Amino acid sequence: MKRQLTITLEPIDEAALASKRKMSDGMGAVVYFAGVVRATEENRVIHAIEYEAFQPMAEHQFNLLFSEMEKRWPIESVRLVHRIGMVKVNEPSLWVEVVAPHRGEAFAACQWLIDEMKRVVPIWKKPCA
């Protein structure tokens, strides 16, 4: 399984990521997800979220999750971008893409990866009013 992980201070360019997609002839499903900063957090109006990562551990934990994904589903590739630093409302903080032979495994793997990320990858958010 090909894997590409980026933890960056730069804005996530979804069009550029989509333009670099590579998939072989046997692949029939691409699932991608963008997590976007909402204008409210726990009923408070905010203008941004500041993300902090313990980056070496975050990279290690993401790679453990990718390895587990590879065991569970026939995934050809996963690309994940997590932005850190200040992310304004309406801007994506997370972008994930999973390429697989069929939609079932692509959706399941993408959902699982995001759920597990929120459980084990050391990234935190601080809402900014």
Partner 1 sequence: MQTTVHFYSYFKDLTGCAQTRETLAAGSTIGDLLKVLADRFPKLGALQHSMLVAVGVDYQGRGYVLKEGDEVSLFPPVQGG
Beta strands in the chain (DSSP E): 2-8, 29-36, 40-41, 44-45, 48-53, 77-83, 85-88, 92-100, 123-128
| 43 near partner 1 (CB under 8 A) | no
| 109 near partner 1 (CB under 8 A) | no
Q: How far is the CB of 60 from partner 1 (least distance, A)?
A: 4
C-beta of 13 vs 52, nearer to partner 1: 52
**Burial of 14 (C-beta count, 10 Å sphere; 0-12/13-18/19+):** middle
| 38 near partner 1 (CB under 8 A) | no
| 8 near partner 1 (CB under 8 A) | no
124, two tokens: 């935190």
| 2 near partner 1 (CB under 8 A) | no
| 51 near partner 1 (CB under 8 A) | yes
Identify the CA nearest to 32 among candidates 78, 123, 98.
Answer: 98
Give the binding site for partner 1 (CB under 8 A). 35, 51-54, 56-61, 82, 93-94, 114, 117-126
